[in-house]
Structure 1
Amino acid sequence: MTKNNRTRPGFRPLAVAALAAAVLGALALSQQASAAGFQLKENDVKSMGRAYAGSQTAGDDAAVVSNNPAAMSALKGTQFQADITAINVSAKFSGGGTDALGRPLTGGNGGDAGDLIPVPAFDFVTQVGDRWHLGVGVHAPYGFKTEYDRDWVGRYQAVKSDIKVLDAVFSASYDVTDKFALGFSAIAQRTSAELTQAINFGTILALNPAVPPGLFLPQSADGYGRLKGDDWGYGWQVGAYWRLSDADTLAASYRSKINHTITGNAEFTVPAQVRGVFALNPLTAGLFTNTKGTADFDTPAYAELSYWHKVNDAFGLGADLGWTKWDSLQTLVVDYDNPAQPNSTEVFDYKNAWFVSFGGEYALSDQLSLRAGVAYDKTPTRDATRDPRVPDNTRKWLSLGLGYKPTANTEFNLGYSHLFVSDASINDTSPTGDHLVGKFSDKGDLFGVSGRFVF
């Protein structure tokens, strides 16, 4: 192979470099698209039992440190709360695909790409004087993990995606009047990502006229790519809290977008025969070599309204309305340190999305409470641009919860939610012309437990 390619003056290194840019760009794009397409609300088990209805207004919930700092106004004394939610996600693909020559792609359906993901949250709040509250919270606003069989039919789009986003929140609230409070939070956010996929080097070389016909074919020389990186970003949140009457409470919050520059390593496994072809020309010798890279992106702004009505001493009803400005995530420019690899710009075209929930709570006694709620959670993904890393679609929630207060200063909560997810269609083509067509059948179950302690 090496000898034949050395004698062929028609070898086109610039064409190979352009295709390499597309492949690497697609791998990096998946990092941002994945992080943007899966928002986590699971920092509050008590509210989860009501499908997050009244999350900022129902009271006796220290998670407002992270969700709306102004709502700390309703908390008395010093409180610590710990929540953990296990998210059990299932994502199963059915369909198939073709390579650049129109031949069926080998491999199975990838197994169940979902995983069991623990999501912890911690909040601490203390009352300072008659009008001030201060709080500190740690929670995960975004995150997910999908992993397919390494040789599955969609391996050229994605194999593993593991995104973790963790916030440290520092909050303060001030009671402007007895009925109205304002709050502010400073947010430090850490994002880490690991993403892998197969690379169809057989196609890259099969479509090059300088390579002898039949020496390489699509799917005959698979390689592998892995990206891993992280970054710290900083943002803010403001909130307002109104006691409209003895029975009605309203709250509003706005969270800023947070800028990130993900910095990390790109590692590639390249078959020896492919590396030999690339080495024949100095313009391609550096392609698909381990390098560093950066990509700028924003985690989106988020606004929420929360309402709670106390029907009587035992029964309350609430509603929440959330809006996420996903349309700030339109393009991604990837800058590679490797001088042989040109920058790439990708488009993923996310749209703004709404979350609406209704729920209630009934006190069976001073110690036991029952909760229930439903929610509608619109996906930001579009059918035309959805990829297997986040095979997400619009979700409907059904939630149940149980609260137990053994003493006036101690509370434990259990929560469960089932997510009914619409089938997510996939019609995606990789940079090497591998066409994946089918649908994902998704579902999710959330199990949570929390404890709140008042000092």
Structure 2
Amino acid sequence: MKHRVLVAAIAAAVVTPTAMASGYKLNEQSAAGAGNAYAGRAAVVEDASIVFYNPAGMVKLKRPELTVGASYIDATGSFDLDSYTNGAGKTYNSLENSPYSDGGDFIPSAMVPYAYFAMPINEKFAAGFGVFAPFGTNTDYSDNFVGGGFADETQLTSIEFQPAVAYRLNDQISLGFGLDITYMKGLLSKQVDTIPYNEQLKLLNGGENPAHAGLGFTELTDPQWASNEGFNNHYEVSGDDWQLGYNLSMMWDINSDITLGVAYRSEMEFKLKGDSEFAQSTGVFGLTKAPTDIPSTSVEAGDYIIAPVDGVTGSVPKQGSEVPITTPQSLTVSYAQQLTSKLQLVAGATWTQWSVFKDFDVKSTESSPGMIEQLSDLEAGYIGHIEENWHDTVAVAIGANYQLNDDWLLRTGYANDQSPVSNSYRTARVPDNDREWLSAGFNYRINQDLDVDFAFSYLFFEDTKVNEYDREVDGSVKEGSSNLQGTYSMDALAYSLQVNYKL
């Protein structure tokens, strides 16, 4: 039995605005960089974190150096409902006297660690190694979130192991190369409204009628269905994958005061393979249209009724699936100029090719269609689909470093980071928008071998409007789609600390 009114078995995307950079990139790769809002980091060599920003700069280090640190992100997010329409056409314009909530503060706190080692080999060569998280996000709405049919929990975790080498071409120019060995793991969940509340719902009488034998209607007289509201099941998909990418970089000392840095990172194509499953996998009922051959005087063809999702048992076993994700290539250009003996200006821009993210799919990896795939009511092989149509972005930043004395270096910075998400395709799972950074920090030298960096950053986002529907693979709105409209408000604080030790 096909449930045309059933909300899709999964909604979409692994990305949310909790990543401190736009999309699902993470900027948090060093406390020294955070102090300048990451302005000019590919042109400044201060510690071993240059392994991430521009490996070519490793040739400027005089001694082997180890950098270890972490950033703590304290973000908040809230949602204000305009309207929610479920899959049976029931509309809620207020959360009062409804079974739903605003989702609460859906952005948990997070810790992002990083570690780097770099060493000169001789006057021409240097080598290094970094361990860090290039991508990630973590959001979790309350279970009765009004938009739970589109998004509940999202976890994206990555860890990268980057060996890198640098070569000094001449006194002014050095080149760098690194491998991006990356592991990514993801988990997505959503609430499933298999029986959306419908005031026109009609229940079949005489569930024991022999004429209904084999149709699975024996439980349809249960009074719970008459007033069913809210979500009655939960869907989850998880998977992981390893991929290999690369990075290229160049550092050019134009003169004794001005340095230009350029760094490129390649895209990587992940397929997060795992399982899709319902929390309640047996006895699953759904809303559907009455067929023409039901022998009942109270139900006519076209009326909404409730029946087991497979027409007999209501069994929805787990299904093998994969989530394709392409991480974007990026190009960073950085500039650093020593204005005086104490004051340095830093600036930069990063282009990110987010346009590779056209849509987000959850696909079956099994040879025959499973029940979850059939419930999604999409093209063969699709369990979930969402239109993204992201666009390329440019983030710009400017900052300054001031050498107060031999032991204290003060930092500050400002950044403007564009969101790749367009207004037409913004979703509850990805309510991303443009953001601005204000940062300040310092470096304190404890002795000639040991120093520490600390930074504080505040991010503020533009309020974000969402108008989301379930869509077919071709981008059209699904028949019987639910709809969510409302406004998101978000901001974030980040505290970063790192320790630098010269060996």
TM-score, reference length from structure 1: 0.89
Q: Give the equivalent residue in structure 2 for 1:437.
A: 485
Verify the 8 A CA contact 1:258 1:300 in the aligned structure 2.
yes
CA gap 1:206/1:187 in 2 versus in 1, 3 angstroms: farther
Q: Give the equivalent residue in structure 2 for 1:424.
A: 464
Residue 319 of structure 1 and its aligned partner are, at CA, apart by 0.2
Verify the 8 A CA contact 1:203 1:217 in the aligned structure 2.
no
Verify the 8 A CA contact 2:119 2:127 in the aligned structure 1.
yes
Matches within 5 A, 1:355-370: 355-370=395-410
Q: Give the equivalent residue in structure 2 for 1:121.
A: 114
Verify the 8 A CA contact 2:13 2:360 in the aligned structure 1.
no
CA gap 1:169/1:272 in 2 versus in 1, 3 angstroms: same
Q: Give the equivalent residue in structure 2 for 1:10.
A: none
- Structure 1 or 2, whichever has the larger Rg, is 2
**Is it true that 1:89 corresponds to 2:89 in the alignment?**
no
CA gap 1:205/1:97 in 2 versus in 1, 3 angstroms: closer
Verify the 8 A CA contact 1:50 1:360 in the aligned structure 2.
yes
Relative to structure 2, which stretch is displaced further, 361-370 or 261-270? 261-270
Give the root-mean-square deviation of aligned CA atoms: 2.6
**Is it true that 1:448 corresponds to 2:480 in the alignment?**
no
Tell me the SS of whatever aligns to 2:56: helix
Residue 58 of structure 1 and its aligned partner are, at CA, apart by 2.2
Q: Give the equivalent residue in structure 2 for 1:308.
A: 336
What number of residue pairs does the alignment pair up?
435
**Residue 248 (structure 1) aligned to one of 252, 258, 261:** 258
Matches within 5 A, 1:344-363: 344=382, 345-363=385-403
Tell me the SS of whatever aligns to 1:31: coil
**Residue 146 (structure 1) aligned to one of 139, 151, 154:** 139
Verify the 8 A CA contact 1:200 1:223 in the aligned structure 2.
yes
Which whole-Å CA distance do the structure 2 matches of 1:354 and 1:440 have between them? 23
Q: Give the equivalent residue in structure 2 for 1:98.
A: 85
Which whole-Å CA distance do the structure 1 matches of 2:462 and 2:322 have between them? 34
Relative to structure 2, which stretch is displaced further, 317-326 or 212-221? 212-221
CA gap 1:416/1:45 in 2 versus in 1, 3 angstroms: same
Verify the 8 A CA contact 2:239 2:323 in the aligned structure 1.
no
Tell me the SS of whatever aligns to 2:41: coil
Verify the 8 A CA contact 1:51 1:375 in the aligned structure 2.
yes
Residue 196 of structure 1 and its aligned partner are, at CA, apart by 1.3
**Residue 269 (structure 1) aligned to one of 279, 282, 290:** 279
Percent identity, aligned pairs only?
23
CA gap 1:281/1:241 in 2 versus in 1, 3 angstroms: same
Residue 142 of structure 1 and its aligned partner are, at CA, apart by 1.2
**Residue 404 (structure 1) aligned to one of 444, 451, 454:** 444
CA gap 1:134/1:209 in 2 versus in 1, 3 angstroms: farther
Relative to structure 2, which stretch is displaced further, 53-62 or 299-308? 53-62
CA gap 1:240/1:263 in 2 versus in 1, 3 angstroms: same
Counterpart residue identity of residue 319, structure 1: A
**Is it true that 1:155 corresponds to 2:165 in the alignment?**
no
Which whole-Å CA distance do the structure 2 matches of 1:157 and 1:218 have between them? 19
TM-score, reference length from structure 2: 0.81
Q: Give the equivalent residue in structure 2 for 1:325.
A: 353
The structure with the greater share of residues assigned to strand is: 1
Q: Give the equivalent residue in structure 1 for 2:216.
A: none
Counterpart residue identity of residue 98, structure 1: T
Counterpart residue identity of residue 14, structure 2: Q
Could you list the per-position Cα deviations for residues 102-149 of structure 1 after superposition, in whole angstroms to 9, with x for gaps in the alignment?
A: 331631111111121100010001111111111100111111111111
Counterpart residue identity of residue 328, structure 1: V
Could you list the per-position Cα deviations for residues 175-215 of structure 1 after superposition, in whole angstroms to 9, with x for gaps in the alignment?
A: 01111011100011111111111011014999999978995
The structure with the greater share of residues assigned to helix is: 1
Tell me the SS of whatever aligns to 2:285: helix
CA gap 1:188/1:218 in 2 versus in 1, 3 angstroms: farther
Q: Give the equivalent residue in structure 1 for 2:165.
A: 172
Residue 379 of structure 1 and its aligned partner are, at CA, apart by 0.6
Residue 417 of structure 1 and its aligned partner are, at CA, apart by 0.6
CA gap 1:412/1:331 in 2 versus in 1, 3 angstroms: same
Which whole-Å CA distance do the structure 2 matches of 1:207 and 1:146 have between them? 35
Unaligned segments of structure 1, at least 5 residues: 1-12
Q: Give the equivalent residue in structure 2 for 1:7.
A: none
Could you list the per-position Cα deviations for residues 16-38 of structure 1 after superposition, in whole angstroms to 9, with x for gaps in the alignment?
A: 3x777x723x43x3236788822
